[in-house]
Chains A and B, each alone.
Chain A
Amino acid sequence: MFEDDAIPVEKIDRNIFLTTVDWIYNWGRQYSMWPAMFGLACCAIEMIGASTARYDIARFGMEFYRASPRHADLMIVAGTVTHKMAPQVKRIWDQMPEPKYCLAMGSCAISGGIFKSYAVLQGVDEIVPVDVYVPGCPPRPEALFDGIRKIHQMVRAQSIKTVRWYGKEKKEA
């Protein structure tokens, strides 16, 4: 994921211009990451708590919870994903335009949590690619912010040359 340590020096010299572009590109995406507005269970209450006065998600420029997935950059899967709900979660993910990120919030979204049953998906990573896992049952807003900052780090480490959404063939970001 964090591949910037491994780049040889001569490769950097050739990419001075692109690193500046990368910096601006990543800076803009990092501070304007609008989450999709949907919650599935009790974790959603903590997600709402993260946007209230005490924690204030707006500091990161993230207070625009967009109801339409077409405007969203980050999907916070907050809560238990039942098999009934899974197609809708997948559909929201597919409707989001690139670049998009997914954060699995809480034990249920990570692994099904305590609900080891026929009705519950054992982890949202079975249907969508998850970038960051935030454990907890439910995690506090501070933990959510920690996860969000992990996503910010991930965004900062990406390069416009290697990201998966520009190349013709599939590349890993």
Chain B
Amino acid sequence: MQVLDDLWIRIAVWFRGLLESFLPPWAVQLTMDVLGILLLIVLGIVVVLAFTYMERKVIARVGDRIGPNRAGPFGIFQAIADAIKMLTKEDVTPTNADRWLFLAAPIVVIIPAVLLYAVLPLGRGMVGVDLNIAVVFVVAMGGIPILTMLMAGWASNNKYALLGAFRTVAQLISYEVPMVVALLTVVLLAGTMSTVGIVEAQASFPFALVTPVAFVVYMLAGLAELNRTPFDLLEADSEIVAGYFIEYSGMKFAMFFLAEYINLFMVAGMITTLFLAGWQWPILPSWLWFLIKVVLVIFLMMWIRATFPRFRIDQMLGFAWKALVPLSLINLFLVALVAKVLEPGWVRTGVLFVSNLALLAGAIAIMAQVARKREERARAAGEAAIKRYYGSEVR
């Protein structure tokens, strides 16, 4: 088991030894760094190939369909067929587009997505860089795609693209707030901002059990950050055709697609790291545990996508500012208070778990009450309008 657990590290050490036998130290370091970066980029592309296929299959099975099964056995080469098609498709640049911005946007969108992989702990001792401000890094890099989406929307010189881009900016900036507060809750409990440190702080309890509220808030905000259903407002076909990448064809469109799935893996990885104890948990090798948890989280996201319709734009922004932000702030206050008063251990975890559940139940009750009131008000207004029109009660 121990051999399997540090399999990749052993391979890395062996390879380093091999290089040291005929290269000077600086060249060894350079080669290892370049190889590490290449591996992370390759991981990103493999992730895209695997999860596009998984998504199509999962959504097909939820809809009682078969899903792709023609390209290769069980359709496993479906993503490769898509890649070949995308690569050979004609590349269209609209006449009135801002040419350089239009070209730059799909390139820029991929960079922060790949950079984020550097701080993701993929297993025990398997992390690109153990940054001591990794959480801040994640939030900062997560902000750059917003800029590229606005770039793409503006440069396309297409009104639907621009509308989609504005929607995205409104959505991402709104959901950044509860996301950061949920992150802050975790940082407060772990006492560190390093992702490795956060995973190690969850040796006894995963933070999903300690603060379920932060977990739920982060999950919802993560879905919104990924622009996935039910928050896929930016590419709502029925309203704005295809969102900010409407004018992109061929490989440029594929780059946005790529960035989307790389980010999907990243957000699922962050949820695993922050709330599900990352690579910890016994018996199986650490990197396998990490992979299993990430796939489960991604499966949950696909399940949500296959189940729920999308929000209206005002509902979505209202949900962020009126529900998630207050909820996460109250939770942060609660966690800060309990963490200050009680010593770490069973008692603190129990108190936090119970109080978090109570908070969640209270929040849901208040939201249901508000929804009921709103419905009553709408019905009363409708009845009043009918009365005005007909001059009496409707029989």
By a beta-carbon cutoff of 8 Å, the part of chain A in contact with chain B is 24-25, 27-33, 37, 52-53, 56, 58-61, 63, 66-68, 70-71, 73, 97-99, 165
Contact = CB atoms under 8 A, between A and B. Distances in A.
Given A56-B66, A59-B68, A71-B249, A32 B84 contact: yes
A27 B245 CA distance: 26
A61 B76 CA distance: 11
A146 B352 CA distance: 61
B84 A58 contact: no
B92 A31 contact: no
Nearest to A26: B84
Contacts of A98: 89-90
A24 B87 CA distance: 12
A134 B248 CA distance: 31
Contacts of B68: 31, 58-61
Given A56-B67, A60-B70, 17 more contacts: A27-B71, A27-B81, A27-B84, A28-B82, A28-B83, A28-B88, A30-B81, A31-B68, A32-B71, A53-B63, A56-B60, A58-B66, A59-B70, A63-B56, A73-B85, A97-B89, A98-B90
Contacts of B277: none
B80 interface: yes
A163 to B, nearest CB: 10
Given A58-B56, A97-B250, A68 B88 contact: no
A68 B248 CA distance: 9
B375 interface: no
A29 B88 contact: yes
Interface string B25-62: 00000000000000000000000000000001000100
Given A32-B85, A59-B69, A165 B242 contact: no
Max chain A C-beta neighbours (<10 A), residue from B60, B65, B250 = B65
Contacts of A70: 92, 246-249, 253
Main secondary structure of the interface of A (DSSP, over half): loop
Contacts of B85: 28-29, 32-33, 73
B64 interface: yes
Interface of B: 56, 60, 63-71, 75, 77-78, 80-86, 88-92, 237, 241-242, 245-250, 253
Nearest to A70: B249
14 contacts: A28-B84, A58-B60, A58-B66, A58-B68, A59-B66, A59-B70, A59-B75, A63-B60, A66-B242, A67-B241, A70-B92, A73-B85, A73-B89, A99-B88
Nearest to A165: B90
Main secondary structure of the interface of B (DSSP, over half): loop
Contacts of B69: 59
Contacts of B92: 70, 97
Contacts of B65: 52-53, 56, 58
Top 10 closest A-B pairs, CB basis? A28-B84, A97-B90, A68-B242, A32-B85, A67-B237, A31-B81, A31-B71, A70-B249, A53-B64, A98-B90
Given A31-B70, A60-B70, A97-B92, A71 B78 contact: no
A136 to B, nearest CB: 23
A37 B237 contact: yes
Nearest to A60: B70
Contact of B75 (A24, A30, A61, A67): A61
B71 A97 contact: no
Contacts of A25: 84, 88
B90 A61 contact: no
Nearest to A34: B85
A16 B121 CA distance: 47
Contacts of B249: 70-71, 97
Nearest to B91: A97
Nearest to A51: B65
